[in-house]
Structure formats: C-alpha cells, structure tokens
Structure 1
Amino acid sequence: MANTYYEAINWNEIEDVIDKSTWEKLTEQFWLDTRIPLSNDLDDWRKLSEPEKQLVGHVFGGLTLLDTLQSESGIDQLRKDARTPHEEAVLNNIQFMESVHAKSYSSIFSTLNTKKEIEEIFEWTNTNPYLQAKAEKINEIYKHGTPLQKKIASVFLETFLFYSGFYTPLYYLGNNKLANVAEIIKLIIRDESVHGTYIGYKFQLGFQALPEAEQAELKDWMYGLLFELYENEENYTDELYGEIGWAEEVKTFLRYNANKALMNMGQDPLFPDSANDVNPIVMNGISTGTSNHDFFSQVGNGYLLGSVEAMKDEDYLIGLE
C-alpha cells in the first residue's frame, strides 16, 4: 500500500463542530459590494459638509488599510497554527472576505469621490502616524508573536480597532443618511462578528491548555496590549473626529467594543462602558436589519441576503465543553 503524501480534507469527519458551523455561517452570509446600489446615496453625500466628507473618506481609508493587513498578513499567520484542516478552510474563507471588505471601500470611493480626492485619501491613509502605528503593532505580533498572541492581536483588530471607523456610517444610518454605504458596513460588521468570535474561540482552546502561571503571564500581556492600542486609538479618534465634535462619543463606542473583544476570548471586560452608554443613534444603526436589496436579481435567482443583527452578549461565549 502506498504511503500518504498529502491528506484530503474530509468534511464528513469533523474534529471540532465549531469549524463546521462557522463555515456554514460564513458561506450562508456571502455577499459582494457590486450588488449594492451605492449611487443611490449621492443625494445624501452632496448635502454633507466638507469636514464630514473628509471624515468619511479618511475613516474608510483607515478601514481599507486594516482589512488589507488582515487579508495579506494576518490570516496567513493564523493559518500556520490551525488545529484542524477544517479550521484552515474557515480561515481561507475569512481571508477572501477580508479582501472583499477592502475592495468594498474602493467601490464607495469610486461612487462618492473624485480621482483627486481618492488620491488624497490614500496618501492620508498611508502616512497617518496613528493608523500606521496600529498597523505596525498588529503586524509585528503577526510576524513574531506566539500562536496565542497572534490570535489576541487578530481579535483586537476585528472586534475593537475597526470600530473607530464603523462609528461614522452607523451614525449616518441612524440619521437616515447614506443608507447603501451603511448597508455595506453592516454586512462587514456581520462578517467581523463571526471572525472575531471564531478566532476568540480558538484562542480559548489554547489558553485553557496552558499552565496557570502561563495563563496569568499571557493575560498581563493581553491587557497591556489593549491599553497600548487604546491609547493610540484615542489619539486617532481625536484627529478624525475632533473637528466635528464626536470624539468622546466614539471613544465610548471603542471601549464598549474593546470589552466585546475580551469577551470573545473568554476574558473579563476592562472598561465600565456598556451598550447603554453608546450613542443610541449608533446602536439603532447597528441593530437595524438590512434593506434586503435583491442583490442577485441580475443573475436571475432572486436571492435575498438575510438581515444583519447586532451580536448579543451570549454570542461571544461559545461553549468549550
């Protein structure tokens, strides 16, 4: 009998049921930006002030950079430490969708912005010191960290650092503006919720296998990293939102989502902020279902994307029995 050189993945023998359920969830909610009529937001866009337009551009430029980092570097590093072949398949799906997310922002730019404005957005994105600092910090962990440190960095990126950018479109959605732009963001948030929960679950498996002393050491490192990232994020938020006066509200939203990131990894919340402290207009935006555009009518099957819902606290607590 010949020796096995390479093993085929067998989805009929599942080592971890969370791999299968996550794959099914991610494929069920597959979407593409090309199915959303962004041009319908042009009337709203023209009514925004110049500082608001610049904020939207810079916010989405920053999100593009972070999604690019996650798709090009992050998932490659996480894949090296996969526990099962099915986990590798799930990470492949996540990597592709991160590329879809990054591309979606360019669709928004091409609809709302001039060529000169787009060039300014990417110049700002590629040189902003606070944005570059968080990209460098996360990427250095991806390159040199332990498997569990990489997962911590990934969850902080997915469930915390994106949200300084997500605040803007959710705020406008809550005020009945830029509904189609926000539709894309809500679909991205839906994906990121699954990504952060799944990678956080994989972190918990590894964390629980550590001796108590190593757990304590890693927790110290985790909370230290969160403080460092939050301090940088405060500066980034002040620069983005200072002129239009939203900075403090955004910081509350950031602290709320930092707690969610910790919950993803089975850890205690750090900040006192809860959903009740977040601007209710933003929470309303994040919890409103999608507009259910007939995204696939162009190809004749009339498939409708399901509604987007905010993650509930219990969604972050995957059982590890």
Structure 2
Amino acid sequence: MSAILNKVKVLEPENPNKSTALFGGKASGILNWNDLAYPHFYDYREQIRALFWRASEVDMTHDIKQFPQLSEAEQEAFLKIIGLLATLDGPQTDIAMRIADFATDPSVKSIMATIADQESEHNHSYAYVLSSVTTFDRQLESFETGRRDPVLLKRNERIMDVYNTFAAEPTIIHVLKTMVYSSLLEGLFFYSGFAFFYHLARQQKMVGTSTMISYINRDELQHGKFISELFRATLAENPAYNTEQFTDWVYEQFQYAVEQETIWSRYVLSDIDGIDLVEMEGYIKYRANKMLRLLGLSDLYSDHTENPMKWIRAYIDNFDDTKTDFFEQKSRQYTKVGDLNGFDEL
C-alpha cells in the first residue's frame, strides 16, 4: 500500500525553493516562477489566468423571455442538465484544493488555486442562469437532481468513490486516480450537456446561456489539459505505478464513463428534436479518445477519431482556436489582452 501523503506545510525555509517532487517531495513553499522544476507550468498558469470572466457579466435578457417559450421537454432537459453540471463543478472546486494541499511543488498549488476559483465561478453561473429564467422552487429542484435522480446517481458512483477515497487516503496512487477522473470530468462528463445548450443556440434559443456555457467549456478544456500534464509528470516521477495493471484500470474507467455518459444523454435528450443520439454517442467516444491521448495513452475507439458533430465547432471544440458567436460573430474567447493572445491581432 502506498504511504499516506502529508499535507504540505506553509513554509519550510530549510528546503529548496525548487521542489524535489510534485507530491511527497521537499520545497520551501516560496514560489519563484522563474525557477521551477517544471518551467512549462508557467505557460499553463498564464493560459488559465487569461480566462477570467464573471457570470454576472453575461446578458440574460433574451433568455429570460425565451425560457417560458421552450417546449416542456426542452425545459426539463435544461433544468436536469444544469443540475448535472452543478453536481460536478461543486465537488471539482473542493478536489482542486485537496490536490493543492498535498502538492509539494508550489507552482502546482498556485495553478490548482486558480482552477478551484474558476470552478467556483462555474457553479455560481448555474445558479445565476436559473435565477434569471425560472422560479425559486424550480431552481431548488434543479440543484436537487444530483442527490435524487437515480440515473445521475448511478452515473456519478465511480467519481464519488475515487474522490472520496483520495480525501480519506491521500496516497500517490489515489491522487493519480483522482487526476484521471478529473480529466474525465473536465473533458468528457459535461459534453452531452454542453451540446444541448449549443443545439438550442443553433436555433437562436437561450443564446445567453450558450455563451456562458462556452466560457465554462473553454475553461474546462484548459483545466483538463493541465491536469493531464500533471498526471503524466507525476507518473514519470513515480514509475512504480506505471504498470500494465494501472493502464488497464484507466482504460476501464474511460470505457465505463463513455457508457454512463451515453446512457445519460439518451435519458436526458431523447425527446429533444434535432439531436441525433447516435451522433452524440460518437461524439462522446471522440472526446474520450482526445482525453486518453492527453494522458499519454492510445485511442480506445478506433472508429471515432474524428468529430462527428461538425456543427459544434461554431462554439468551442479544442484548446487553441478562437471561436466566434454563431449568430453575432463576436469573439467568445474573452481573454485579457496580453502576450498570449497578441494585442496586434485584436
């Protein structure tokens, strides 16, 4: 059994500033971004920090008017999917901070703090959307979905188990498993829900909500990219865990996650006109392949290496491209002007 990791002390001046390991190493707690064990982590920090936004800045005027005009099936899917997103993003704030608690490298602590803050804003955004478009009773009902809906409870069983096990027994293997599930959460678990809101926006419905979702989507892509990099670096530092057994475990979790995401999409989107559920299943498998490659593994679904939902590219589908609003053609990137996005290009 792996040794239990200790929470890292705030300051230990006898240790070097540059950490000796990501987890279970030594570091003073003094962060010098110009002297890191993993210098490229600074680039991740800058990319994630550039994504600052606030839910209250998104105009919901038209959504307020349109929500009552949605079909009953669309309203029900809207509320259930918001409930799903809140169920996942709330714990994600917590798990980011817990990973930071045990990270020796102060740059990882700093980046995870920013991720936790952004996840907190995601969770706030769901409450903001609901308070804009529906009654308080229906808001409460939506947020109860994660506690009461049997399909959603089944879907979230394994992530709850992995996260709670890490909280109870913070070891290297459990932090590695937590990063796998964090990668799944950031890069796969949200995506049928995101697609639903983009589908509404294609019909010029609830564009304010779709804009909010695109900001969240873009954040999650960057979070997933960093978590995957942290996973690979941690595994490289701890090669004893880089086994065939662990690799098989990762593949099995991805396969299970794809099955559960597919079941959820059929459950919540079956009555939504215009969404092809077979195409959606292909998109989920395509997303799984992408996240596996980020973790350093091979595709699990050889027939789904291309995105079958080409229309979703009008919103956001990768890490680097700047997408534009489907209708107004305004930039949805919402990054601050700086070296990363290039002042001269604006």
TM-score range, shorter chain: 0.7 to 0.9
Identity of aligned residues (%): 24
Give, in angstroms, the shift of residue 8 of structure 1.
2.6
TM-score using structure 2 length: 0.77
User: Deviation at 1:36?
Assistant: 0.8
- In structure 1, list runs of 5 or more residues that go unmatched: 296-303, 308-321
State the distance in 2 between where 1:40 and 1:93 align: 31
In the other structure, the counterpart of 1:57 is: 79
- Correspondence for 2:121 among 81, 90, 100: 100
Post-superposition shift, 1:191? 0.7
Which residue number corresponds to residue 300 of structure 2?
A: 270
Paired residues in the alignment total 295
- What is the 5 A alignment of 1:130-279? 130-144=151-165, 146=173, 147-209=175-237, 211=239, 214-244=242-272, 246=275, 247-271=277-301, 272-278=303-309
**Matching residue within 270, 273, 283 for 2:313:** 283
Q: Secondary structure at the match of 1:286?
A: coil
Change (3 A) 1:153 1:104: same
Q: How big is the shift at 1:158?
A: 0.7
Which amino acid in structure 2 is aligned with residue 153 of structure 1?
Answer: Y
- Counterpart-to-counterpart distance in 2, 1:275 and 1:286: 15
Aligned-partner Cα distance in 2 for 1:76–1:134: 24
- Structure 1 residue 15: Cα displacement: 2.3
Tell me which residue corresponds to 2:18. Answer: none
Report the equivalent of 1:113.
Answer: 134
Does the 8 Å CA contact 1:77/1:143 hold for their aligned counterparts? no
Kept in 2: contact 1:62–1:131 (CA 8 A) = yes
Moved more, 56-65 or 234-243: 234-243
Task: Give unmatched runs, 5+ long, in structure 2.
Answer: 1-11, 15-27, 167-172, 318-322, 337-346
Q: Find the aligned partners of 1:175 and 1:237 in 2 and give their Cα distance.
A: 20
Match in the other structure for 1:26: 48
SS of 1:10 mapped into structure 2: coil
For 1:250 and 1:57, locate their aligned partners in 2 and report how far apart those are by CA, in whole Å. 20
Q: Match of 2:244, as an amino acid?
A: A
Amino acid at match of 1:29: L
Q: Does structure 1 retain, via aligned residues, the 8 Å contact 2:86–2:143?
A: no
How has the CA–CA distance of structure 1 residues 161 and 152 changed in structure 2, closer, same or farther, with 3 Å as cutoff? same
